[in-house]
């Protein structure tokens, strides 16, 4: 226990010292929520790696590898990386040029009025809150592993630590600590991978003793299952606000694009490891074990505490960076999209800073409440992704590429798709959940836009093409 305690104390002393440092530096809501659009290449690379590799990597993806094999990588991690890189390669420059805080702002600027409410609520409550809860549960797992702490006590301590750090430093502290924590994270997951190979008897024994379906890209459930699961995950990463925040926070369009692509390539390479650990674990853990407990079993039961402590701190680093990012994502939505847009358009910087820290507390408290009732990590995360993607992907693409899209078309599409996706489990139809939701979204946004006129509050433009036109004018 002394090794675990020493590592964890040193880690949190480091985190909070940086938090206090940035507390003295952060003066405005722009500093606090978006790092004043001024972060450099390696800071963005590090924060992308750390945020992408959160609780899902250490706990959920290890368990997924144990259950379905390496096909889990092709179902979940690879689609997430591919769609994230597509977002950055195609949209990073035009989005960075907008100098926004949130995805909902894009909707509000394009259509005016209250159009950003639905994307803001989806981002804050449907995604940020439950994914924050995942991080809290993950931290509680660490405290239980290291100290035998009772679950509810661990959740409360996790809540206090996460809230305290986030309130202090905001996004600047998060991004800088992310860049440093990404190194700890990589060391932790590599240590676990090497240990798994050792306890699995070496690569030759592992390969000979592992059924081929757990090594195959299509896994035990077949190609169709892999593709459908990938479709339920991938599109969400086009509208993942954590990536948007990193694009906005970059100090230039070039940094946003180059650092973003670099970060996700590294994150993709790292994400192969947890699935591999899960597959290897089939050679030395009981097959009736709860998949989410495999990480615990390997770290505590097999690794010496000197090494296990490093793995635990690597997990804590992943959890803290994810938690702070998701809190600030939700806080940005509540502060910028709801408080400033709906309640106080002329709010002073002092009021915006107060609102930012209050909304950090609100998102944190909601995350704690969800964490007390959380059971299935992967399923809950997949549900949040599916609902957000079905509702927002086509409206986002329409804003970027289709000048004809109307306010009524977007609002109707988001509302109908949201309801349709929620009631899908009760419809008993043979179409995949995600395909159903995306189809409803596409059909409604096209039809209602073609048969309605632009509102007087709209800025009638296609952001992507407008951006290209402006660049051509500058060149000529």
Domain definitions of the chain by residue range:
2-386
N residues, the chain: 476
- For residue 385, list its beta bridge partners: none
| Tokens (6 digits) for 393 | 């992907």
Counting beta carbons within 10 angstroms of the beta carbon of residue 272, is it exposed (0 to 12), middle (13 to 18) or buried (19 or more)?
middle
Asked if residue 275 lies in contact with residue 64, where contact means CB atoms within 8 angstroms, the answer is yes
Residue 34 to residue 106: CA distance in whole angstroms = 15
Cα torsion 408, 414, 415, 421 to 10°: value is 150
| Tokens (6 digits) for 317 | 């680093």
- For residue 39, list its beta bridge partners: 250
Asked if residue 56 lies in contact with residue 135, where contact means CB atoms within 8 angstroms, the answer is no
The overall pTM is greater than 0.85: no
Asked if residue 120 lies in contact with residue 104, where contact means CB atoms within 8 angstroms, the answer is yes
Neighbours of 454 (CB within 10 A): 17
For the chain, which ranges sit under pLDDT 70? 1, 31-37, 54-59, 171-173, 175, 178, 374-382, 467-476
Asked if residue 253 lies in contact with residue 101, where contact means CB atoms within 8 angstroms, the answer is no
CATH code, 2-386: 1.20.1730.10
Residue 405 to residue 449: CA distance in whole angstroms = 5
Closest CA to 56 of 298, 349, 385, 288: 385
**What is the residue whose two structure tokens read 């500058």?**
474
**pLDDT reported for residue 472:** 43
N-to-C CA span, the chain: 67
**pLDDT reported for residue 363:** 92
- CA distances in angstroms from 178 to 46, 155, 263, listed in the order given: 6, 22, 12
Residue 232 to residue 390: CA distance in whole angstroms = 9
Neighbours of 12 (CB within 10 A): 17
Q: Which residues contact 221 (CB under 8 A, 6 or more apart)?
A: 68, 71
Query: What letters, b where the CB count within 10 A reaches 16 and e where it falls short, cover 390-406?
Result: bbbbbbbbbbbebeebb
Distance of CA 224 to the CA centre of its chain: 25
């Amino acid at each position: 226990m002394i090794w675990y305690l020493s590592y964890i104390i040193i880690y949190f002393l480091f985190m909070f010292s940086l938090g206090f440092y940035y507390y003295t530096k952060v003066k405005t809501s722009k500093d606090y929520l978006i790092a004043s659009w001024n972060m450099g290449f390696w800071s963005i690379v590090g924060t992308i790696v750390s945020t992408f590799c959160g609780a899902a990597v250490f706990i959920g993806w290890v368990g997924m590898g144990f259950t379905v094999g390496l096909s889990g990588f092709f179902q979940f991690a690879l689609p997430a990386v591919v769609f994230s890189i597509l977002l950055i390669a195609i949209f990073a420059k035009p989005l960075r040029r907008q100098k926004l805080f949130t995805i909902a702002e894009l909707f509000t600027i394009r259509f005016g009025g209250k159009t950003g409410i639905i994307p803001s609520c989806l981002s804050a409550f449907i995604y940020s809150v439950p994914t924050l809860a995942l991080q809290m549960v993950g931290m509680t797992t660490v405290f239980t592993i290291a100290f035998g702490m009772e679950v509810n006590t661990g959740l409360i301590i996790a809540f206090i630590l996460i809230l305290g750090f986030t309130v202090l430093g905001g996004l600047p502290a998060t991004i800088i600590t992310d860049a440093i924590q990404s190194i700890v994270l990589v060391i932790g997951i590599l240590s676990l991978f090497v240990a798994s190979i050792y306890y699995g008897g070496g690569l030759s024994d592992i390969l000979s003793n592992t059924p081929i379906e757990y090594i195959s890209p299509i896994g035990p459930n077949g190609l169709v299952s892999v593709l459908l699961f990938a479709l339920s995950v991938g599109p969400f990463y086009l509208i993942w606000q954590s990536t948007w925040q990193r694009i906005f926070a970059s100090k230039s369009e070039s940094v946003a694009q180059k650092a973003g692509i670099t970060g996700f390539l590294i994150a993709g390479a790292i994400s192969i490891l947890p699935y591999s650990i899960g597959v290897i674990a089939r050679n030395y853990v009981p097959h009736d074990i709860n998949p989410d407990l495999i990480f615990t079993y390997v770290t505590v039961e097999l690794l010496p505490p000197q090494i296990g402590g490093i793995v635990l701190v690597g997990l804590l680093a992943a959890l803290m960076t994810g938690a702070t990012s998701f809190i600030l994502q939700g806080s940005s939505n509540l502060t910028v999209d709801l408080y400033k847009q709906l309640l106080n358009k002329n709010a002073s910087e002092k009021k915006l800073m107060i609102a930012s820290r209050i909304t950090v507390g609100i998102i944190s408290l909601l995350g704690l409440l969800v964490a007390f009732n959380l059971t299935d990590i992967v399923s809950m995360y997949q549900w949040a992704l599916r609902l957000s993607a079905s509702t927002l992907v086509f409206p986002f693409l329409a804003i970027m590429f289709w000048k004809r899209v109307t306010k009524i078309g977007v609002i109707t599409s988001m509302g109908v798709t949201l309801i349709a996706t929620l009631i899908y489990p009760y419809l008993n139809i043979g179409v995949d959940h995600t395909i159903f939701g995306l189809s409803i979204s596409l059909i409604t946004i096209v039809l209602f836009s073609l048969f309605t006129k632009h509102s007087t509050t709209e800025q009638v433009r296609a952001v992507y093409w407008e951006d290209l036109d402006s660049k051509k004018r500058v060149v000529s």
